[in-house]
Structure 1
Amino acid sequence: MHRPTQTETLWPTQAHVSTHRCAQVQAHRNTHTGTYSHTHTHTHAHTGNAQAYKTIQDHAQAYTDPQITSAQAPTKEMRAQAHHISAYAHVRAHAHTQTHTHSNSNTSLPGHWRASWPAALGLSLFHPGLQPRPSSCSTPPPVGCINSFPLPLPSTASLDTSTASVSAHSWQAGQDQSLPTGSMATKCGKCGPGYPTPLEAMKGPREEIVYLPCIYRNTGTEAPDYLATVDIDPKSPQYCQVIHRLPMPNLKDELHHSGWNACSSCFGDSTKSRNKLVLPCLMSSRIYVVDVGSDPRAPKLHKVIEAEDIHAKCGLGYVHTSHCLASGEVMVSTLGDPKGNGKGGFVLLDGETFEVKGTWEQPGGAAPLGYDFWYQPRHNVMISTEWAAPNVFRDGFNPAHVEAGLYGSHIHVWDWQRHEIVQTLPLQDGLIPLEVRFLHNPDAAHGFVGCALSSTIQHFYKNQGGTWSVEKVIQVPPKKVKGWLLPEMPSLITDILLSLDDRFLYFSNWLHGDLRQYDISDPHRPRLTGQLFLGGSIVKGGPVQVLEDQELESQPEPLVVKGKRVPGGPQMIQLSLDGKRLYITTSLYSAWDKQFYPDLIREGSVMLQIDVDTIKGGLKLNPNFLVDFGKEPLGPALAHEPRYPGGDCSSDIWL
């Protein structure tokens, strides 16, 4: 399939892209809406599994502990307070008129890898819809609620710089901006979920509980995956304990990521409430909807969206990332078609009934591969990334598939209004681009992508002419090793996050074992400000000997927390609203866990907490925090992405 180059578009750019300019407020927003109808005739036979159902029934009691779940009354759902709202400033990034062009040669291996692949090719195991934003979601805003325009900019002195770093590219202060009269109110008497701005979110309450999907697929335990609720309030007698477990009604789903029915994109709509957690299943293609509003400390299953429904209405499968939209819908990315071939499309769900409505993209318009996505409506753009076809990665990582070009190496730029790809950007040293994050400032035209296998961070940005470019800004060098599958070990960047003030970028190196913090005040030149080793494949005393290291003088010590030697390396990360605490889990994907870290299967994953220096930069392990999923009632489990009840920096998008 032909991939458009960075300079190709599907229509004249100037005629169709948003006319929003970085240095100005767009005084008039397009209110055009469009409807796309999709009809698919695919059917898929549904067969019950009586034995699996009996197994689930047999285990159900082990997940329920009335003494624990009723020990404390449910906490109130986090809601935004009616504060006076400080304004956004507008992007003051450098204008980039040149358009970078790259060849497609990067779909093959980097030069320093090529020599080592042939000897390993026989090995498969490693040892060690939205239309342009209405004023407030789908209903008129209540009196006094914020709409999509920023407030007039206050003076520099009025900004709270104790919790936010204001930089030229993001939240610059000191210059007034005029707006249409009456376009914005400064207070919200009755608002929807989340917070009016990212900086207001930083003032939200401290996290008290966290939800984590826990996986049993590929562990040898014949039990369903479940949603764990963990108490992370230091003042609670149940601190660092799993206080509730909600089992799913099927086996081998591979719960993975989660999202919300509503978030800060619907802040202006008082009819919306963040009360349902959406759980896409990576392998079964089901989507579970969980009620967390009735009792946040004891969630309950609300609805099951079966794979057959998604297959028939969308022609898609292998669901991954879920984001709520201001339209009231929920959008879920996919990695494949029902047969496991690559297909990067998007499923639309009704945000109230959770019925499958069809696809977000136009018919036949899916990307060749899919994974994550993030949208920025003020720039009429969405960015999506690529992992691989499910048939490629399902049972594990095979180096031959990399040599064959079966893993992703591009990002896709979508027209947010037209639901179509307008650019496909090849990445320099960008094999397996996974998590994508725009800056939280909705006026910003910058973002980052973490590329796992190439171990790079890519920065994408909008050019003056309206097209998008991408550049490599961080490269974690591989380490020459002995006792591993290959002579060189990549760091394997598997998750990235941006702080809500757009000051810091965090990412995890799952194989090397370190967590990093970068100052991104200049997004073209990130600066390393913190690094912490939390296990990994190169620790002392392990099977891997490091022969040559461009960064370290010696191999790091194994991580021991509260007497437990931590298996695996840092993987999923979540940041507190105020930016002062990071929560880390160690499981990537069950089949890859089994290959890279067999100890994870035997011992289960853990959740750790890192203290963050938000003034000078820096990371420090909290030695008193450990959630050990190796001690779960049915056996060691693999905990994945943390999610707070009130939203966080990877679930909420501001418009």
Structure 2
Amino acid sequence: MDSTFYRTPGEAITAPAESLAYMVTFDRAGQQPDALTVLDTDPESDGYGTVISTAEMPTLGDELHHFGWNACSSALAHEGHCTEGLQRRYLLLPGLRSSRIHVFDTQPDPRTPGLVKTIDAAELAARAGYSRPHTLHCGPSGVLLSCLGTADGDEGPGGIALLDHDTFEVRRAWESDRGPQYLAYDAWWHLGADTAVTSEWGTPSMVENGLVPERLMNREYGHALHFWTLSTGQHRQRVELGDEHQMVLELRPAHDPEATYGFAGVVTNVEDLSASVWRWYRGGTGVWRAEKVITIPAEVPSRADALPPALRPFGAVPPLVTDINLSVDDRYLYVSCWGTGELKQYDVGDPAAPREVGSVRLGGIVERAPHPTDPRTPLAGGPQMVEVSRDGRRIYVSNSLYGSWDDQFYPDGVGAWMAKLDTDPESGGGLTVDRRFFPHGDDFGGRRVHQIRLQGGDASSDSYCYR
């Protein structure tokens, strides 16, 4: 059995630290292939904080975005896997623009993964009826792959495609009855409660060429959570957050397999440009509910002319919460404010009453806060994708959101950088930027950087079967 499958969150926390990070990088112009980049995260290594290898895609124009492992610790309770040799071995890389899915094998050398399979857009469309694959997790019935659009590519309903655990062939659409669900984004679950949770962003036509201001102000982007029977794919309940809360993105369920709560990030409130984090939970009657537990206000800049054209009519910088991540011990929640350039740390020991305990600024639409290793160089972009190590001590961030959205909010260029922050979970919080870890610029060969996965699993890719 693969030693990186952990029966409990506690086992994962005490396991050896990651020595490698995998990150997808993309060429906004589509003139060179996107790539899977491997980075050295071993502080004892001479190459610490540098790019080890870059594996290019065989195609152009994929715009690699989110990606994930073929299996996680929850596979210990799944049926349908190969009975021998189950491993956290393959990385599946969806192209959000191309609808292709590239599969890389991290064996025999995890430092130099190799391409073993490409699933084309036609297979995804023909077998599942979907396009624009976004997020994937290995689930009880197969690999669940959320998709933004239908086979036609521009509109919805989006949903979830089911891939075979071992061959990665597209099997079918996961839903058996989607109810009122139309918009799609993330998908996660509570295994013990036989419940899946999905969130809402927009259809391909709503996101492909950037945020559409008219559709945002008309409150057409996603503003609800959906709850499903995990074992059957049947829609059970829609929970409305209020249509002023636009774009319900990342979902982070509690890692405790007996817990029935989690957190969802909301990009913006059209009434005041604030962002928010919501807690979903199952009430005593078995009905799922949601409540806002964090509000992050917009900031008024000292210089209005520093705002990009898209924001000048509002005269403020929205936080733009575009990612959140929950530590494996369910103690700390990390919130990326891509607009203001801030990464916030909250103590969520009481999930209904988070307390902010740490903050770091890097980049930002107006502030352009520098990395401490190069204090004279302003950074564009901001903490966007965030990944947390299994022991909760290391937090990795990257700065690009999505090509067309980067261009809209950072029209003078978003650049490319990755940073690492340290924290001590036992000390009650607080964040420190690691000065030794700052790959940026030409380190990525002219490509922008997006999601990060850690060798052996991480806080956002694993769920657990036992306490």
TM-score if structure 2 supplies the norm length? Answer: 0.91
| 1:404 Cα deviation from its structure 2 partner | 2.6
Q: 1:196·1:264 contact (CA, 8 Å) conserved in 2?
A: yes
3-state SS of 1:196 partner: coil
1:252 counterpart (49, 61, 72): 61
Change (3 A) 1:632 1:380: closer
Within the alignment, does 1:456 sit opposite 2:276 as a pair?
Answer: yes
**What are the within-5 Å matches in structure 2 for residues 526-545 of structure 1?**
526-539=354-367
Supply the distance in 1 between the matched residues of 2:51 and 2:371 (Cα, whole angstroms). Answer: 22
| Residue equivalent to 1:225 | 34
Look up the equivalent residue of 2:459 and give its one-letter code: C
Q: What residue ranges of structure 2 are gaps of 5+ in the alignment?
A: 78-82, 270-274
| Residue equivalent to 2:381 | 568
| 1:654 Cα deviation from its structure 2 partner | 1.3
Q: 1:447·1:459 contact (CA, 8 Å) conserved in 2?
A: yes
Supply the distance in 1 between the matched residues of 2:256 and 2:154 (Cα, whole angstroms). Answer: 36
| 1:270 Cα deviation from its structure 2 partner | 5.5
| 1:209 Cα deviation from its structure 2 partner | 0.9
3-state SS of 1:202 partner: helix
| Residue equivalent to 1:619 | 431
| 1:398 Cα deviation from its structure 2 partner | 2.1
Supply the distance in 2 between the matched residues of 1:249 and 1:199 (Cα, whole angstroms). Answer: 40
Look up the equivalent residue of 1:401 and give its one-letter code: R
| 1:568 Cα deviation from its structure 2 partner | 1.3
**What are the within-5 Å matches in structure 2 for residues 97-112 of structure 1?**
none
Aligned alpha-carbon RMSD (Å): 1.8
Q: 1:504·1:517 contact (CA, 8 Å) conserved in 2?
A: yes
| 1:242 Cα deviation from its structure 2 partner | 1.2
Superposed CA deviations along residues 606-655 of structure 1, whole A, max 9, x for unmatched, are 1101011312211111122111143444xx21111110121111111113
Q: 1:318·1:336 contact (CA, 8 Å) conserved in 2?
A: yes
Within the alignment, does 1:266 sit opposite 2:75 as a pair?
Answer: yes
1:438 counterpart (233, 236, 253): 253
| 1:326 Cα deviation from its structure 2 partner | 3.6
**What are the within-5 Å matches in structure 2 for residues 1-20 of structure 1?**
none
Supply the distance in 2 between the matched residues of 1:610 and 1:599 (Cα, whole angstroms). Answer: 26
| 1:309 Cα deviation from its structure 2 partner | 0.6
Higher RCO (C-alpha under 8 Å, 6+ residues apart): 1
| 1:504 Cα deviation from its structure 2 partner | 0.7
| 1:363 Cα deviation from its structure 2 partner | 5.9
1:643 counterpart (443, 453, 458): 453
3-state SS of 2:245 partner: coil
Superposed CA deviations along residues 331-378 of structure 1, whole A, max 9, x for unmatched, are 100111123102231111111111111111116658200000111121
**What are the within-5 Å matches in structure 2 for residues 303-452 of structure 1?**
303-327=117-141, 329-338=142-151, 339-362=153-176, 367-428=181-242, 429-452=244-267
Look up the equivalent residue of 2:349 and give its one-letter code: S
Within the alignment, does 1:465 sit opposite 2:285 as a pair?
Answer: yes
Which stretch of the first structure deviates more once superposed, 334-343 or 449-458?
Answer: 334-343
3-state SS of 2:463 partner: coil
Supply the distance in 1 between the matched residues of 2:254 and 2:447 (Cα, whole angstroms). Answer: 33
Supply the distance in 1 between the matched residues of 2:400 and 2:280 (Cα, whole angstroms). Answer: 28
Q: 1:568·1:599 contact (CA, 8 Å) conserved in 2?
A: no
Within the alignment, does 1:523 sit opposite 2:334 as a pair?
Answer: no
Change (3 A) 1:354 1:366: farther
Superposed CA deviations along residues 392-431 of structure 1, whole A, max 9, x for unmatched, are 1101112111123321111111111231111111114531
Q: 1:198·1:500 contact (CA, 8 Å) conserved in 2?
A: yes
**What are the within-5 Å matches in structure 2 for residues 10-89 of structure 1?**
79-80=2-3
Supply the distance in 1 between the matched residues of 2:372 and 2:339 (Cα, whole angstroms). Answer: 17
Look up the equivalent residue of 2:65 and give its one-letter code: H
Within the alignment, does 1:652 sit opposite 2:462 as a pair?
Answer: yes
| Residue equivalent to 1:606 | 417
Q: 2:2·2:86 contact (CA, 8 Å) conserved in 1?
A: no
Which stretch of the first structure deviates more once superposed, 623-632 or 505-514?
Answer: 623-632
| Residue equivalent to 2:272 | none
Superposed CA deviations along residues 61-99 of structure 1, whole A, max 9, x for unmatched, are xxxxxxxxxxxxxxxxx953xxxxxxxxxxxxxxxxxxx
Look up the equivalent residue of 2:67 and give its one-letter code: S
Look up the equivalent residue of 2:431 and give its one-letter code: L
**What are the within-5 Å matches in structure 2 for residues 133-212 of structure 1?**
193-212=4-23
Q: 2:30·2:60 contact (CA, 8 Å) conserved in 1?
A: no
Superposed CA deviations along residues 468-494 of structure 1, whole A, max 9, x for unmatched, are 000001000112342222223210001
Look up the equivalent residue of 2:277 and give its one-letter code: I
Change (3 A) 1:649 1:459: same
| 1:434 Cα deviation from its structure 2 partner | 0.5
Q: 1:334·1:370 contact (CA, 8 Å) conserved in 2?
A: yes
Supply the distance in 2 between the matched residues of 1:534 and 1:270 (Cα, whole angstroms). Answer: 45
Which structure is higher in strand share?
2
| Residue equivalent to 1:596 | 409
Q: What residue ranges of structure 1 are gaps of 5+ in the alignment?
A: 1-77, 81-192, 543-556
3-state SS of 2:108 partner: coil
3-state SS of 1:479 partner: coil
| 1:443 Cα deviation from its structure 2 partner | 0.4
Q: Which has the larger radius of gyration?
A: 1
1:630 counterpart (442, 445, 467): 442
Q: 2:363·2:382 contact (CA, 8 Å) conserved in 1?
A: yes
Supply the distance in 2 between the matched residues of 1:253 and 1:271 (Cα, whole angstroms). Answer: 31
Look up the equivalent residue of 2:206 and give its one-letter code: V
| 1:294 Cα deviation from its structure 2 partner | 2.1
Change (3 A) 1:632 1:261: closer
Change (3 A) 1:364 1:513: closer
Give aligned-pair identity as a percent. 40
| Residue equivalent to 1:11 | none
Change (3 A) 1:212 1:336: same
Superposed CA deviations along residues 558-614 of structure 1, whole A, max 9, x for unmatched, are 44534653221110111111111111100111111111123445xx31110101131
TM-score if structure 1 supplies the norm length? Answer: 0.65
Supply the distance in 1 between the matched residues of 2:37 and 2:105 (Cα, whole angstroms). Answer: 13
Change (3 A) 1:196 1:381: same
Within the alignment, does 1:474 sit opposite 2:289 as a pair?
Answer: no
Look up the equivalent residue of 1:528 and give its one-letter code: E
Change (3 A) 1:376 1:460: same
Look up the equivalent residue of 2:121 and give its one-letter code: A
